[in-house]
Amino acid sequence: MRFRPNLRLRKTMRLFRRNSRGDPVEDVALLAEELQAKERQLLEAQRVIQQLQEQLEEQAAEVDALRRIGAAVGSAFEVEETLNALVEVALRLTGTESCHIYLLNENRTELVLRAADEEARPMVGKIRLKVGEGITGWVAREKRYVAVPREAYKDHRFKYFPEMREGEYESMLAVPLLHNNEVIGVINVRTHRPHEYSRNQVRILSNIAAQVAGVIERSRRLQQLERHAEQVSTLTEITRQIASNLYLEEILQFLVNMTAQAMGYKVCTVMLIDEERKELVLKATSSKSQEYISKPNIPLGKSIAGRAAQQGRIVTVQDVKEHPEYQFADIAAREGLCSLACIPLRTKGKTLGVLNCYTERPHHFTEEELNVLIALANQAAVAVEHAKLSLRSAILQEMHHRVKNNLQQVASLLRLQMHYAEGANAKEVLNESLSRILAIATVHDLLSREDLDMVPIKRLAETILFHTQQGLIPPHKHIDTRVIGDDFLLPLQQATSFALILNELVQNAVEHGFRDLDSGRITVTIREEPERYRLTVVNDGTPLPDSFDPRKTMTLGLRIVDDLVRGGLQGTFDMFNSEEGICAQVIFPKGDGSANADRRLRAHE
């Protein structure tokens, strides 16, 4: 392109030629004015060129920054590794000496230091700020950046952490991490000397902040998908376990362990309602602490879990240590428990218990999280109901078997009674038969209240003596009865033999020892020895004849005793006079030797 002189300059030159014969002074002044105008235009052009150069450099730096940020994000696989890489990039691109990245916790109430320069890295995870606290907290709350060129430690919003040596830094630039206009954290940089942060530095740090926000959001989505997959897997596995033949205790223990692992909880516990006592009883827990496991039962309506069970609704608490209704704040403090969610175990409109889930730190239970816990609680309720139905079925089958055996035993006793009852009073015969049947009934009564297969023997003896007092001792006689000694458990068959033996011995004492006496005492002593049991029935009635031999006596009662002791308990029976009175003694070994009891009775029919 050809150079074209300025139009105004050409006019000036023509004017100069036309007036070359004019006043020289006037011409010089005109030229000077023109030169000054041109100098001003030149300076303005230089300023514009400088601005364009600066903009070009800023754009180049921004492109380079984005390239480095992308490289840092792409080269790291873990979130912590990515954040540390971005810290280094931020320090290089902004020319600062310190960089910190804070992220909001789950409750969005605190900013936690998650990445920092090498000097402050040991404090990662330890420094926390509430939203609105300090310059960093203010940026999170207001969602806009703050640049302090000098004496940042004197800013009214500043919060000092001695371990961070913050007094050594003069300037500070803090930028919010935003995703969909929601704050998820703050990134800040600092310098030791006063520093005016340029628009380019603010823009670079804002780009880094956007990249950090994207990384965090992608990580959270990935974690959410992983948790969801693990939760589905947990539900599937729990369903499979419920369908198996495991015991209820094993299913519930599996449930609390899997829930704690899948959901990241500190402790998970299942408590079931005891309908008789109206209490919540601990049935399974992931805690290994004996102090926690030994906590007392919780009455319905009391404490947080008791209220959730009584009302049949979910109850969540931010911090159990500070909640006025929580009864075990001291244990929670020692065990490191904080937030709690109580989920009722409900099936068919009825609450069976609660699933308690504790976290280690303050935690907001989201709707999605609670829905998963509800599904887990429903699975636990199904397991409890399934176990109850299975137990009822087993009990019905067992009771059918027991009733059949006991009816056969009653029939054998009645046939023996018929064999020995010639010439006896009908009323006496019926009373004796009734007493024996009541002894068997006492065993089943205790079984219905205690364990399915084991009977408490001392309580059995006390009940038999009570029935004897009521039914066999005439009103005009005053005979005291008592039971002393050890209490232990015997299985059903041994307990039935024991009950019939004791009934016959007490009945024999009343009929023969106090036939001619109106008062006296019957003492039943039960002892558990290392390898055997010992039953002693002593009465202070009429002594036995010197020639008495229980094995040669043909009374029905003693024959039943001898048969049951030898055939049912595999033991020995003896009866003799002692210093305390007439003593009937039964000794039998530990272990179930009662399988032959019915056969022995039927053999004598």
Q: Pick the more confident residue, 372 or 387.
A: 372
CB count in 10 Å sphere of residue 464 = 26
Indicate if the pLDDT at residue 528 is higher than 60: yes
Contact, 535 vs 586, CB < 8 A? yes
Is residue 52 exposed (0-12), middle (13-18) or buried (19+ Cβ within 10 Å)?
exposed
Indicate if the pLDDT at residue 476 is higher than 70: yes
Highest mean pLDDT, choosing among 53-67, 179-193, 457-471:
179-193
Query: How far apart, in Å, are the Cα atoms of 605 and each of 223, 414, 516, 551, 600?
Result: 77, 9, 32, 17, 9
Phi, psi of 325, deg, nearest 5: -85, -20
Residue with tokens 């207001």: 142
Among the residue ranges 111-115, 462-466, 529-533, the one predicted with the least confidence is 462-466
**pLDDT for 541-569, tens place per residue?**
888 888 887 777 657 677 778 888 887 78
Indicate if the pLDDT at residue 19 is higher than 60: no
**pLDDT for 151-201, tens place per residue?**
998 888 888 888 878 778 899 999 998 888 888 899 999 999 999 988 878
Q: How far is CA 334 from the centre of its chain?
A: 16
Is residue 23 exposed (0-12), middle (13-18) or buried (19+ Cβ within 10 Å)?
exposed
For the chain, domains (ranges, CATH) are: 7-64 (no CATH), 76-224 (3.30.450.40), 244-391 (3.30.450.40), 421-603 (3.30.565.10)
Average model confidence (pLDDT) across the chain? 78
How far apart are the C-alpha atoms of 379 and 54, rounded to whole Å?
67
Highest mean pLDDT, choosing among 16-20, 94-98, 532-536, 569-573:
532-536
Q: Residue 390's pLDDT is what? A: 63
* Backbone dihedral region for residue 89 (phi beyond 0: left; psi -120 to 50: alpha; all else: beta): alpha
